[in-house]
Amino acid sequence: MRVLITGIKGQLGQALHARLPDANGLSLPETDVTDRVAVGQAIAGLRPQVVIHCAAFTDVDGSARDPARAYRVNGLGTQNVALAAEACGAALAYISSNEVFDGTKTAPYFEFDQPNPINPYGRSKLAGEWYASHLCSRFYIIRTAWLYRYGGRNFIHAIQRSVDTHGRLRVVTDETATPTWVEDLADALLKLIQTGRCGLYHLTNAGYCSRFDFARKILELTGRSGIPIEPITRAEYPRPSRPPRFTALANTAAAALGIILRPWEEALEDFLQNP
């Protein structure tokens, strides 16, 4: 299978490329997904059978500061990739986000719950979903959450740096989702594509936790249990973006195909103990 990965230098892109060393890739600065002509020519020249579209503007607070940029990359950039994939007969796998939901539920969101993003990042990712589903005859939309990988910009590394610098933490208790190790996500995503069962999927590690519980688990697993950690609310931690309160995702569609990711606690322990 000829695979092309956009954003191949990012966290998920690198994990996928490690599993698909023969895959072609597009990434900045060589190819910008917002450049319609460059994207069209690159994909047409490579003629992939599957395009895995990981490239995105993932800075949630940056999206709040510059919504136009978020929409240009995550929305219109996806339009460019979707049209180019369709033109060469490739299926498109678009990586979306838990932040397409508003966070008002108290139980995990199913694949067909109605999206209602409350911040510019979520709205830009939902725009990407629209383009993927309306412009491609064969598509996978994969929503995921709270990704982390060795060396990447993520919550785990930020918590460890903060503790080592300040010796204490203040972490919000009222933002809940599922930490997801990109190594587990990459395995699940490739299994999904191999089934040929196009559609809408939620792929995260199993279970969910608050940011506070996530941080506390990180401290426990890294021998820092004695570090003071203060629970606070989102209102006490002002930031440019307003994150949804509860956006855990239920994996029902992929589970029906036998694709189930392990609990987030097990993945986190594996990640921290096997650097």
> Rounded distance, CA 247 to CA 208, Å?
9
230: exposed, middle or buried (C-beta count within 10 Å: 0-12, 13-18, 19+)? exposed
The domain spans of the chain are: 3-154+179-207+247-261
Tokens of 92: 């498109």
Q: Which of 71, 109, 121, 148 is the catalytic position?
A: 121
Please give the model's pTM, rounded to 2 decimal places: 0.95
pLDDT tens per residue across span 130-187: 999 999 999 999 999 999 998 767 888 888 888 888 788 889 999 999 999 999 999 9
pLDDT tens per residue across span 211-237: 999 999 999 998 888 888 999 998 888
- pLDDT-based confidence at residue 244 (cuts at 50, 70, 90): very high
Is the pLDDT reported for residue 259 higher than 70?
yes
pLDDT tens per residue across span 100-119: 999 999 999 999 999 999 99
> Rounded distance, CA 251 to CA 93, Å?
17
Please say if 131 is a catalytic residue.
no
- For 112, other C-beta atoms within 10 Å of its C-beta total 9
User: Which CATH homologous superfamily contains domain 3-154+179-207+247-261?
Assistant: NAD(P)-binding Rossmann-like Domain (3.40.50.720)
pLDDT at 154: 82
